[in-house]
């Protein structure tokens, strides 16, 4: 089988088209595959990078993986021994912490819902290498979880601009096709580029639009001739325009079901110099081959997608390979690619895999209760075994064995290992912390408290360990040992500074301020403690007054350079008491935010539908609904929101006010409503459903609610793996089912 030659990727780094970290990610991705494919140039690249950074732990790990892949386990261990220890005690701010270690730490912190800490580490990673696509994506995901959509979209734009391989030609053709549907726009030779500003159309755009117009008018021959003429005249001068013309010709042939001709057009174009491995051509050709469906065509489609996967890491090729191998009856290969898609999708979404969680927690303490028991598959077991083999110290291997036992559900074995570790000379603060976590989960609170004390004594600047220790005080543990510990300036000063930085970083959360005030109280800093206690109380009161009723997370799609991206934003419904009987409608100017006329109409109609539905099912709660006027605030107001898919979330927002029930904050919703009667409201299919599921997964939500009609779209597996879809998505056929999913069947007893 043909392997990956990394030398052309190295040239992209030299030319500035790919980041150094992106190249190292490609090497790591292939090293962690089955190992049956050559990997030309990997050793050369790793050694060159090590010449620049001899102690970079990520590079040493890659070199060890390369040796292990070649069967030299002892060589792999010797390489890791050249690093300090096994790299498990380097905090994220240590100068030797690599970019990969920072990103891994950020992923695990975000998975543990330590969002502010994850952001801090992600920003450090991005400052280390500003062009790293993984660092940009990691920070974008943090922003999404925090609801900072504008910053997230800007980061996504940077990712798109820096991505080494982009398929933009077909998107451009789609835009031109839409423009050409307006005869007036086709006839115009100028386009608007700003307020009262126009520019002359490029002659190539005029010809492309003209070809689309001919096709729309039924003149297929004229449209094809126009494409051929443009391709011929632009061949030497403007290759990009030539490509658009050839792809447009194949597009016309595909639309008229002349698949053989479309196939021939794209095959011939592949013989043109410079377009042999063009992304747009290959993706289009694979699509045509799949539609042809002959054994030879399916084989060619498989060859194309395997090429894109192996040489360019094209994630979207994996679900196509699953479908193609299923089509030819090779279920084993289909299953293998399905597993690879799941794992690569998780990595693209910046979700840590089981071996990565074990590796990260062996380096950096994160409380164990932040993670559920993990489902450990064969690939995960193999990855953890590799972690055990490559750990360069006995303590490192034991630490990983304890973590694996804990996540596999064998807490007793994990505690035995941690006890032995804490009694050894190799013990670290994290070992005492993990032993304490395990003891606390087993109900041994006093022993856990003592272990947390030893942990913070060894690592006084660890905010995570201090939080665990202080939570024990809230549960009634003896505070005198903590006061005695803080009497030592070597512990008090770094602890106070670390907790102060944590509170400032997550300044809207009362918990860090409470912890800081408690430390200051014990340390005798009464004035500071009183000020921070007051701030914590004020924040807690503000949270309790926040308008949770009427707040709903909406799953939406954002068009970025012509491609849909799933995002989650919020809407908040409110109401105001007016003269009896004078309400029941949106107040004047009651839609706050930028909305299109169609969405404005949807909101008004949905309010009427929700009020009717509430009066039919909860007349005692809806008796006074006409005594209020209603309003709806839609977030991300700098860009207009549109579409009927907001119907279900808007209905739930208004029903939340009427029923006095909060919509769960870890749920996103999308669905179009059709009112059959006052009692019965059905849900209809919405667009971009798979991308909305992807957005909910990216936002770290636990559920997304969609219309039943969208089940086939989501479970086709082309955008999100089927396992993710089945775990994350719930479907409803009507508003009653949706309400039961959101609030449970007991809602009818309200």
Per-residue pLDDT tens digits for 567-594? 999 999 999 999 998 899 999 889 998 8
CA distances from 626 to 248, 584, 600, 616, 680 (A): 56, 4, 20, 14, 21
DSSP for 696-726, please give it. HHHTT-SEEEEEGGGHHHHTT-SSS-HHHHH
In three-state secondary structure terms, 40 is strand
What CATH number did the domain enclosing 142 receive? 1.25.40.10
User: For residues 21 and 99, is the Cβ–Cβ distance under 8 A?
Assistant: yes
Helix H or strand E segment including 30 = helix 20-31
Q: How far apart are CA 435 and CA 418, in angstroms?
A: 6
What CATH number did the domain enclosing 578 receive? 3.30.230.10
505 located within any domain: no
98/236 same-domain check: no
356 located within any domain: no
Q: What is the pLDDT of residue 62?
A: 77
CA trace torsion 202, 208, 212, 214 (10° rounding): 100
pLDDT-derived band at 200 (thresholds 50, 70, 90) equals: low
Q: What is the pLDDT of residue 33?
A: 58
Q: How far apart are CA 400 and CA 94, in angstroms?
A: 21
Last residue of a domain, one of 237, 256, 275: 256
For residue 244, give the nearest of 190, 338, 172, 181 by alpha carbon.
Answer: 172
Identify the burial level of 340 via C-beta atoms within 10 angstroms of its C-beta, where 0-12 means exposed, 13-18 middle and 19 or more buried.
buried
For residue 241, give the nearest of 276, 205, 288 by alpha carbon.
Answer: 205
153/194 same-domain check: no
Per-residue pLDDT tens digits for 18-52? 677 677 777 777 776 545 566 667 777 777 777 67
102/190 same-domain check: no
- Whether pLDDT at 701 is above 70: yes
Torsions phi, psi for 428 (to 5 deg): -120, 170
171/37 same-domain check: no
Q: How far apart are CA 363 and CA 92, in angstroms?
A: 9
% residues pLDDT > 70 (the chain)? 88
- Whether pLDDT at 83 is above 60: no
663/707 same-domain check: yes
Q: Which residues pair with 641 in a beta bridge?
A: 595
389 located within any domain: no
For residue 495, give the nearest of 459, 464, 461 by alpha carbon.
Answer: 461
Residue 326 half-sphere exposure toward CB, CA atoms < 13 A: 13
Last residue of a domain, one of 241, 256, 271: 256
Place of tokens 């490192």: 396
- Which value, in Å, is the radius of gyration of the alpha carbons in the chain? 29
475 located within any domain: no
Q: What is the pLDDT of residue 86?
A: 44
Instruction: Please state the domain count of the chain.
Output: 3
For residue 680, give the nearest of 617, 749, 741 by alpha carbon.
Answer: 617
CA 172: distance to chain centroid?
26
158/171 same-domain check: no
Per-residue pLDDT tens digits for 383-393? 777 777 767 67
User: For residues 1 and 302, is the Cβ–Cβ distance under 8 A?
Assistant: no
Last residue of a domain, one of 256, 283, 300: 256
74/201 same-domain check: no
- Whether pLDDT at 97 is above 90: no
Place of tokens 């340390």: 523
182/242 same-domain check: yes
DSSP for 296-308, please give it. HHHHHHHHHHHHH
Q: What is the pLDDT of residue 210?
A: 87
pLDDT-derived band at 95 (thresholds 50, 70, 90) equals: very low
Where does residue 448 fall: left (phi above 0), alpha (psi -120 to 50 degrees), or beta otherwise?
alpha
Q: Which residues contact 488 (CB under 8 A, 6 or more apart)?
A: none
Per-residue pLDDT tens digits for 477-497? 888 999 999 999 999 999 999
Torsions phi, psi for 565 (to 5 deg): -125, 130
Q: Rounded to the nearest 5 degrees, what angle is found at the Cα of 546, between the Cα atoms of 543 and 549?
A: 130
Q: How far apart are CA 195 and CA 364, in angstroms?
A: 54
Q: Which residues contact 731 (CB under 8 A, 6 or more apart)?
A: 705, 706, 707, 708, 710, 711
For residue 630, give its domain range: 551-749
pLDDT-derived band at 109 (thresholds 50, 70, 90) equals: very high
109/188 same-domain check: no
Per-residue pLDDT tens digits for 301-335? 999 999 888 877 788 999 999 999 999 999 999 99
What are 107's two structure tokens?
Answer: 């992923």
Per-residue pLDDT tens digits for 121-159? 999 999 988 989 899 999 999 999 999 999 999 999 998
Q: What is the pLDDT of residue 96?
A: 47
106 located within any domain: yes
62 located within any domain: yes
181/149 same-domain check: no
355 located within any domain: no
171/47 same-domain check: no
Q: How many CB atoms lie within 10 A of CB 508?
A: 10
Q: How far apart are CA 691 and CA 107, in angstroms?
A: 21
pLDDT-derived band at 174 (thresholds 50, 70, 90) equals: confident
198/113 same-domain check: no
Per-residue pLDDT tens digits for 368-383? 999 877 777 777 777 7
Interaxial angle between packed helices 429-441 and 445-458, expressed in degrees from 0 to 180 and rounded to the nearest 10: 160
- Whether pLDDT at 167 is above 60: yes
524 located within any domain: no
């Amino acid at each position: 089988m043909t392997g990956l030659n990394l030398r052309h990727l190295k040239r992209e780094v030299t030319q500035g088209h790919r980041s150094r970290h992106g190249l190292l990610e490609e090497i790591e991705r292939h090293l962690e595959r089955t190992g049956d494919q050559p990997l030309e140039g990997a050793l050369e690249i790793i050694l060159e990078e090590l010449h620049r950074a001899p102690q970079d732990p990520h590079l040493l790990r890659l070199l060890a993986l390369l040796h292990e892949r070649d069967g030299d386990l002892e060589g792999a261990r010797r390489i890791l021994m050249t690093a300090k220890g096994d790299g498990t005690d380097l905090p994220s701010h240590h100068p030797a912490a690599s970019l990969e270690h920072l990103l891994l730490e950020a992923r695990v912190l975000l998975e543990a819902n330590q969002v502010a800490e994850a952001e801090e580490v992600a920003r450090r990673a991005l400052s280390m290498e500003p062009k790293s696509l993984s660092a940009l994506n990691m920070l974008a995901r943090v922003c999404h979880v925090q609801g900072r959509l504008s910053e997230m979209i800007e980061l996504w734009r940077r990712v798109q601009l820096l991505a080494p391989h982009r398929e933009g030609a077909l998107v451009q053709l789609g835009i031109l096709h839409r423009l050409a549907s307006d005869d007036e726009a086709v006839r115009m030779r100028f386009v608007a580029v700003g307020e009262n500003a126009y520019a002359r159309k490029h002659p190539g755009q005029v010809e492309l639009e003209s070809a689309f117009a001919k096709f729309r008018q039924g003149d297929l021959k004229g449209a094809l001739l126009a494409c051929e003429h443009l391709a011929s005249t632009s061949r030497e001068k403007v290759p990009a325009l030539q490509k658009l013309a050839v792809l447009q010709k194949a597009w016309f042939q595909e639309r008229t079901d002349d698949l053989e001709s479309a196939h021939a057009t794209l095959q011939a174009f592949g013989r043109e110099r410079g377009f042999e491995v063009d992304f747009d051509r290959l993706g289009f050709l694979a699509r045509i081959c799949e539609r042809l469906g002959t054994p030879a065509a399916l084989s060619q489609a498989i060859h194309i997608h395997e090429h894109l996967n192996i040489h360019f890491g094209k994630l979207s090729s994996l679900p196509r390979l699953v479908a193609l191998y299923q089509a030819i009856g090779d279920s084993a290969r289909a299953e293998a690619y399905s597993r690879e898609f799941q794992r690569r999708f998780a990595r693209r979404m910046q979700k840590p895999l089981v071996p990565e969680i074990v590796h990260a927690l062996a380096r950096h303490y994160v409380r164990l209760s932040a993670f559920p028991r993990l489902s450990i598959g064969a690939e995960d077991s193999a990855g953890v075994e590799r972690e055990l083999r490559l750990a360069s110290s006995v303590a490192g291997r034991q630490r990983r064995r304890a973590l694996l036992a804990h996540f596999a559900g064998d807490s007793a074995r994990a505690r035995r290992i941690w006890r032995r570790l804490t009694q050894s000379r190799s013990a670290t603060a994290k070992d005492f912390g993990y032993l304490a976590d395990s003891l606390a989960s087993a109900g041994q609170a006093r022993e856990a408290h003592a272990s947390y004390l030893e942990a913070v004594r060894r690592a006084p600047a660890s905010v995570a360990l201090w939080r665990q220790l202080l939570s024990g005080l809230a549960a009634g543990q003896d505070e005198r040992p903590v006061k005695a510990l803080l009497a030592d300036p070597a512990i008090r000063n770094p602890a106070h500074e670390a907790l102060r930085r944590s509170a400032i970083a997550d300044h809207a959360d009362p918990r860090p301020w409470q912890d800081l005030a408690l430390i200051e109280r014990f340390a005798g800093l009464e004035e500071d403690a009183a000020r921070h206690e007051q701030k914590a109380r004020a924040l807690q009161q503000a949270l309790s007054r926040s308008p949770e009723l009427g707040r709903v997370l909406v799953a939406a799609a954002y068009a970025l350079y012509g491609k849909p991206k799933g995002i989650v934003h919020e809407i908040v419904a409110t109401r105001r008491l007016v003269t009896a009987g004078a309400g029941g409608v949106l107040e004047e100017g009651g839609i706050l935010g930028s909305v299109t006329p169609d969405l404005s109409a949807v909101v008004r109609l949905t309010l009427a539908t929700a009020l009717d539905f509430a009066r039919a099912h909860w007349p005692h709660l809806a008796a006074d609904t006409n005594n209020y006027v209603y309003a709806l605030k839609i977030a991300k107001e700098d860009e207009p929101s549109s579409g009927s898919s907001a119907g279900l979330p808007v209905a739930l927002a208004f029903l939340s006010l009427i029923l006095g029930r909060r919509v769960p904050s870890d749920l996103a919703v999308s669905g179009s409503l059709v009112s059959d009667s006052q009692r019965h409201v059905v849900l209809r299919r919405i667009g971009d459903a798979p991308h909305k599921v992807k957005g909910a997964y990216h936002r770290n939500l636990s559920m997304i609610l969609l219309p039943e009609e969208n089940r086939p779209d989501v479970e086709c597996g082309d955008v999100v793996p089927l396992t993710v879809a089945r775990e994350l998505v719930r479907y409803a056929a009507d508003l009653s089912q949706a309400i039961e999913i959101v609030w449970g069947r007991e809602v009818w007893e309200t």
